[in-house]
Structure 1
């Protein structure tokens, strides 16, 4: 730049961007519960992972083929991981706009009247102080129950490859029915582990279609004549007719009547005061619908940016 007498004038360099406040990005927390560990990551809205943490989960094997875990232990591991990623990332918790959970397709059991972990360890099903209320996906105790279910040849089996795997959750529920004291089984309510985690996070009884359709024999209303989602004749055929009472309350109820079911990505609710305190997060953060870990891996894969050049 020159003055009127054509002498050069030094221009002070100035960046107007310096006058603007720094952009505050939204952040999200993802929790992945695998067979041996719980993991958490915090990620910003651009997809940049800011921090990761992992904690080993306890595993009990009371007999050959029996594998058990505890939602109490799993939740404690999750809380430790979440607190650590927030601390290590130095992210302001007020910028966290959502949290989501995925987990193995394991069966979690609570009491419906007191909402406490219900032991799944026979023969007396007493709590040894560890709240062992999870039958892990790879548990193979319900051999006879799986055979009984598949021998019905019920039409819903076509939605799970023609037969239920011993690693699915309905054989495990039937095993508990056959071995638990009746008064205990009547008090039980059942969750896929991912749904149990969103329950602990929100206090809500919402179930995910991912869990109930893929692992519990749920057929969405309107599909193949399904009226309630849960098939009453199937439950009676396999010996779980008791669970049809009160509109399948112990399994999560009937959608829109006595229960709520959502798809992946839909909100279950918001963090309760208790869960927020345990996780070290602000109360009211939206909680996304839980999904089975394998399906969460698919979501992450198709959502990834890949350079094929």
Structure 2
């Protein structure tokens, strides 16, 4: 029997699974790491730390179930999006990676977005640039660290660095490349005109391929470090949002994905490259040449609950928080949380946005804080859902994934705030599974992505339906949630 490996390089940890061709996960491992904050608003990670953690989880999954490396038929990758990895001519890392939640490039974002408007290339770019995107981070490096910019020979996305260490090949694929915002999303190629007008070296941008193409093979060096066998094919894979979609079986148009991880995303597959005229959402290339992903992103989803757990309540685990929140009625008795702890992307594109607890009174307890955070995160995702539906893209159900799919309470909050039934798959570690499925398609084990998902992905029988009374309560507080940002927006810059 052949096995497939899926690797997901996340923001807080790297995970890997071994999956058989019937979709059964036989081994899983995870290793955590932290975000470095050298200055307020900065967010960096070391690619070498990523690699070390990846080596450890690969060795663990092979040894845990005594998997014969000779039976591994293919490896696929998933990873946190937008981050900038710079390597020199020897393939060595030039500086720590600037990741998606970094806020330092505000000046560069303004410059790039003005250029996009001036050049009238919105129909090909389909996005505005935000802080934390690779192109704005790269321009920041060029303008603030010229010595590092001069050393750089190639830019990569986070997971692409791991694939480089596995195969020795420097390349990217379209889903992650389109999230750099140095990409012509409509034509699925680098936006060389924009790159040149920004004065950035065009040769920094490596060849770009489709997610299911084979990128290379495990090298002798990588085999010695990881315990894998030399010559195993490695498939490109994609950004974590896309691999989670595959792991949830969302490879057809018209299904909304609600992912609550460190960040959060509302996304839907589309067969046409449509975009929000106000550029509040993102349109990225999806897993097939004729598909696109319309996505709204929240920077502070699971991150908000993690912050509350660790920095405010000093709780031991998330299960404790969920039990606390279950004691509180929908609406948190008037307590509303704005989850903008590191600024916000959709719908505000505001790196200065701040978090707020609004409506505190003497009756509120720790339990209210927890539920208000869970609700506030979901309100922020509803912002994205409403924009997507305004584009004429409608779906009558939501598939939840990430940490927000592991809590029955949070599933109900999503159903009530979105006013849509919420489904969950039986898949654990959706991004890893998606990466493994992509690998299977790439090496020919499965005839197509659609056939693979039909075969391998199944749903839980319980469907979480919206509760009418809760929908009404949340509709009221959602309007207040939106007003809170509007009325405080001008004050955030002074904090």
Please give the TM-score of this superposition, normalised by the length of structure 1. 0.76
Contact 1:36 1:56 in 2 (8 A): yes
Contact 1:143 1:166 in 2 (8 A): yes
Contact 2:223 2:229 in 1 (8 A): yes
Query: What is the CA-CA distance between 1:72 and the residue it aligns to?
Result: 0.7
Asked if 1:238 corresponds to 2:238, the answer is: no
Asked if 1:279 corresponds to 2:279, the answer is: no
User: In the aligned structure 2, how far is the partner of 1:168 from the partner of 1:104?
Assistant: 11
What is the aligned partner in structure 2 of residue 306 from structure 1?
A: 459
User: In the aligned structure 1, how far is the partner of 2:165 from the partner of 2:6?
Assistant: 15
Query: What is the CA-CA distance between 1:58 and the residue it aligns to?
Result: 3.4
What is the aligned partner in structure 1 of residue 151 from structure 2?
A: 187
Report which of the two structures shows the higher radius of gyration computed on alpha carbons.
1
User: In the aligned structure 2, how far is the partner of 1:297 from the partner of 1:176?
Assistant: 31
* TM-aligned CA distance change 1:69 to 1:285, over 3 Å: same
Matches within 5 A, 1:214-229: 214-219=179-184, 223=187, 229=189
Asked if 1:37 corresponds to 2:2, the answer is: no
User: In the aligned structure 1, how far is the partner of 2:209 from the partner of 2:181?
Assistant: 15
SS of the equivalent of 1:171 reads: helix
Query: What is the CA-CA distance between 1:160 and the residue it aligns to?
Result: 5.2
Query: What is the CA-CA distance between 1:210 and the residue it aligns to?
Result: 1.3
Query: What is the CA-CA distance between 1:155 and the residue it aligns to?
Result: 4.1
Matches within 5 A, 1:67-86: 67-86=43-62
User: In the aligned structure 1, how far is the partner of 2:73 from the partner of 2:196?
Assistant: 44
Deviations 1:127-184 (A, max 9, x none): xxxxxx2111101110000011101114444455441122321000000000112x43
* TM-aligned CA distance change 1:97 to 1:162, over 3 Å: closer
Matches within 5 A, 1:1-309: 25-105=1-81, 106-111=83-88, 113-119=89-95, 133-152=96-115, 153=117, 154-159=119-124, 161-181=126-146, 183-188=147-152, 189-219=154-184, 223=187, 229-240=189-200, 243=201, 248-252=202-206, 259=207, 261-302=208-249, 303=453, 304-306=457-459
* TM-aligned CA distance change 1:167 to 1:159, over 3 Å: farther
Question: Bigger CA drift: 77-86 or 210-219?
Answer: 210-219
SS of the equivalent of 2:179 reads: helix
Deviations 1:34-93 (A, max 9, x none): 111111111111100001111012321001110111111111101111111111112211
User: In the aligned structure 2, how far is the partner of 1:233 from the partner of 1:89?
Assistant: 50
Query: What is the CA-CA distance between 1:206 and the residue it aligns to?
Result: 2.2
Contact 2:127 2:181 in 1 (8 A): no
User: In the aligned structure 2, how far is the partner of 1:82 from the partner of 1:157?
Assistant: 42
SS of the equivalent of 2:248 reads: helix
SS of the equivalent of 1:215 reads: coil
User: In the aligned structure 2, how far is the partner of 1:72 from the partner of 1:289?
Assistant: 20
User: In the aligned structure 2, how far is the partner of 1:150 from the partner of 1:172?
Assistant: 14
Gap runs ≥5 in structure 2: 250-452, 463-495
* TM-aligned CA distance change 1:142 to 1:97, over 3 Å: same
Query: What is the CA-CA distance between 1:235 and the residue it aligns to?
Result: 2.1
Total equivalences in the alignment: 252
Contact 1:268 1:287 in 2 (8 A): yes
SS of the equivalent of 1:62 reads: coil
SS of the equivalent of 1:53 reads: strand
Contact 1:195 1:290 in 2 (8 A): no
Gap runs ≥5 in structure 1: 1-24, 120-132, 253-258
